Structure 1
Amino acid sequence: MGVAKVFIGVDPHRLSATIEVVDGRERLLASGRFGTDKAGYAAMRRQVAGWPQRVWAVEGSNGVGRPLAQRLLADGELVVDVPAKLSARARLFDTGHNRKTDAHDAHAVAVVAVRTPTLRVLSHDDELEALRMLVDRREELTRQRVQTVNRLQRLLSELLPGEAKKDITALQVKAMLARVRPRDLAGKTRRRLAVELLAELVAVEKKIKASTVELRAAVLARGSTLMDLHGVGPVVAARILADVGDVARFADRNRFASWTGTAPLDASSGEQIRHRLSRAGNRKVNHMLHIAAASQIRLDTEGRVYYRRKLAAGKTRMEAMRCLKRRISDAVYRQLLADARAAEKTAKSDSVNADPGGHCGASL
């Protein structure tokens, strides 16, 4: 008789993790709360060591649960990702209320793992993890630049009323500050703060440029051809690669579009056939597709022709934009599949070339 498989539901936090071990019939086998430090992690691994056939189900493996999930993957564990929506639904159905405790959360995560065989299986990939960190850092720098520009705009509107620009650059700010020489204490302080913010803006823009160059090199080193698509630059390609992981987990382009949030939801009722905008899916990737669509509309591309054709057919600008985003989503899916096939073919060719095979020797 073989050893039964168990499912370990994990409710992760920054300093602790609560687990619950259940079998295939959702019977409780063990539970506990452990620290996320080295000693706590080792104790958690020891508690479940008696079940060799185990599946770790981590809630929010792309968020607060990512560090723990990556540690488990690095140690060769089988880890699946449980979306927070599924665990909340399971908690509500099992308890009759949606009150959260760590124990209830861990139980709900384990139950979802038992009942949902199609959960995404995580894989350990150092390159993708590094790419994800780089693109996250790039987004942080972009937000920092926006905040710095907004503070500069506020100070410039007080120093030079009526001369504020919508999209201001560091060179424009420098030229504007060179023209103003306040004599009062408040004006001098305001100008000094603006000069400091200008220095911060120059520094963050330099970091953004360097980060973009690094992302481009990382995407190309990955063997991706996503940047061949119009509107898809290093940042968009890096975010898609980092969040998609293995494209084989999507059965077809429709599943991929549902994950990217570009597939409209059916809201038909009776004889009235209509669809509504989907707010589900990966919102970061959806935003990247929106950037690609806006770039295609702005430039002379096939996407721009498609967009205008939808407008001529009577669709609104937002509806035409949604159609274009779905079109780009399908193109990205095809490109990811092509890259995966090319990488697989290259790997097979390398393995064949690495095998010397049989060699004929001299016969006596």
Structure 2
Amino acid sequence: MINKAEDRLLECSLTNTKAGMQTLLGKRQKLPGFDQATTLICMEHTGLYCQPMVSFFYALGGDLWLQSAVQIKQSLGVKRGKTDKADAPSIATYSLRHQKDLRLFCLTDSVLAKVRQLASQRERLMEMAKQLTDIAQDYKAMGLVEELKLHEQTSELVLLALKKQIAQVDRQIDTEIKADRGLQTRVDLLTSIPGVGRQTALYMLIFTANFTRFDDPKKLASYAGVAPFAYESGTSVRGRTQVSPMANKKLKHLLHMAALGAVRVEGDLKHYFERKVGAGKRKMSVLNAVRNKIVHRIMAVMERGTAYTKVYAKIG
């Protein structure tokens, strides 16, 4: 814990539990002139591991700032090694020096929080099923008949159970969304966009905190890793325009699948893709442009609050 002059006021090691947070609060309250209302709590956004601190201090009315670990690391320059003890003062320093970028944490409604947890569970189940399926494919590709037979005998029931669990989680997600008219409406709006399916819509709502984290399609495109950036310097360096590797990889993958789906069905995005590729543009470059267009359509639909409608070009 530091003050405006970057003087270190408190440093301690605690368990990431409610009891640990209670201990931290007690230590803070003993500091001279401590005021909860003027204290900002900044932490790396690490998903599940943020939950104890978020739940405890948000309930007390604390100001919380969850920031990307990459953003914090890059802002503080080159550092060697990584430990919790070294990271803590770096995060505190970052929060003090970059308050112009402050975006206070706002707890999304309980339904979306539950949907996020269910979606994470679905991913874990899908990954376990994929591992078993991949092994079977490897045995088959190598012609290992006996090994494949044994694998299938020992994993058949497990795969069946995993598929049933995935289906059950999907039903739970649908039930939660249908019970909330606002979320159901947003899912319907998002899936009205060609190429955008249920999973893309869900994760868009999850990662944007119900579209409270982004108010600009360019920022969302950058976050999702589909915004092109120039690569040039002076008069001698002229690289291809490319996307940044720093992105939400899950969202980027979903948008990629959405773009693939959009260019395979009849519509303006398919015509755009075929026209650009026919003119000699690289397929991946054009496909990324389609991903970008989908992001812009997503933001437009959310801002308007109406389903996607095709805009026809004027004749004449």
Same fold (TM over 0.5): yes
Count matched residues: 292
| Distance in 1, Cα, partners of 2:264 & 2:199 | 18
Aligned residue in 2 for 1:211: 169
Q: Is the 8 A contact 1:265 1:276 kept in 2?
A: yes
| Distance in 2, Cα, partners of 1:140 & 1:290 | 21
Aligned residue in 1 for 2:43: 58
> Alpha-carbon deviation of 1:51?
2.3
Asked if 1:295 is matched to 2:275, the reply is no
Question: In 2 relative to 1, CA 112–303 (structure 1 residues): closer, same or farther, beyond 3 Å?
Answer: same
**1:236 counterpart (200, 206, 217):** 200
Corresponding residue SS for 1:121: coil
Aligned residue in 2 for 1:104: 86
RMSD of aligned C-alpha atoms?
A: 2.7
| Distance in 1, Cα, partners of 2:58 & 2:121 | 23
Q: Is the 8 A contact 1:215 1:238 kept in 2?
A: no
AA aligned opposite 1:132: R
> Alpha-carbon deviation of 1:75?
3.5
Q: Is the 8 A contact 1:307 1:320 kept in 2?
A: yes
**1:149 counterpart (109, 133, 136):** 133
Asked if 1:336 is matched to 2:294, the reply is no
**274-283 vs 320-329, which moves further:** 274-283
**1:262 counterpart (208, 214, 226):** 226
> Alpha-carbon deviation of 1:143?
1.4
> Alpha-carbon deviation of 1:241?
0.7
Q: Is the 8 A contact 2:111 2:177 kept in 1?
A: no
AA aligned opposite 2:294: I
Corresponding residue SS for 1:65: helix
Asked if 1:27 is matched to 2:7, the reply is yes
Corresponding residue SS for 1:22: coil
| Distance in 2, Cα, partners of 1:100 & 1:160 | 44
Q: Equivalences for 1:63-212 in 2 at 5 Å?
A: 64-89=49-74, 91-92=76-77, 97-117=79-99, 118-125=101-108, 126-156=110-140, 187=146, 191-212=149-170
Q: Is the 8 A contact 1:82 1:112 kept in 2?
A: no
Identity %: 23
Normalized against structure 2, the TM-score is what? 0.81
Q: Which has the larger radius of gyration?
A: 1
Q: Is the 8 A contact 1:82 1:113 kept in 2?
A: no
Question: In 2 relative to 1, CA 319–92 (structure 1 residues): closer, same or farther, beyond 3 Å?
Answer: closer
Asked if 1:321 is matched to 2:305, the reply is no
Aligned residue in 1 for 2:313: none
How far does the alpha carbon of each residue in 1:236-293 deviate from its partner, in whole angstroms, 9 at most, with x for none? 1111111111534434221221111111112133455852222122221111111111
How far does the alpha carbon of each residue in 1:123-177 deviate from its partner, in whole angstroms, 9 at most, with x for none? 112222211111111212221221121223345567886xxxxxxxxxxxxxxxx
> Where does structure 1 lack aligned partners over 5 or more consecutive residues?
1-20, 162-186, 343-364
**2:244 counterpart (278, 282, 285):** 278
> Alpha-carbon deviation of 1:104?
2.2
How far does the alpha carbon of each residue in 1:24-46 deviate from its partner, in whole angstroms, 9 at most, with x for none? 23222222111123332211112
AA aligned opposite 1:23: N
Q: Is the 8 A contact 2:21 2:56 kept in 1?
A: no
Corresponding residue SS for 1:232: coil
How far does the alpha carbon of each residue in 1:290-322 deviate from its partner, in whole angstroms, 9 at most, with x for none? 111111123223322221122123211111111
AA aligned opposite 2:198: P
| Distance in 1, Cα, partners of 2:142 & 2:85 | 54
Question: In 2 relative to 1, CA 74–269 (structure 1 residues): closer, same or farther, beyond 3 Å?
Answer: same
> Where does structure 2 lack aligned partners over 5 or more consecutive residues?
308-316
| Distance in 2, Cα, partners of 1:158 & 1:315 | 38
How far does the alpha carbon of each residue in 1:3-35 deviate from its partner, in whole angstroms, 9 at most, with x for none? xxxxxxxxxxxxxxxxxx112232222221111
Deviating beyond 6 angstroms after TM superposition, the runs of 4 or more aligned structure 1 residues are: none
AA aligned opposite 1:227: T
Normalized against structure 1, the TM-score is what? 0.72
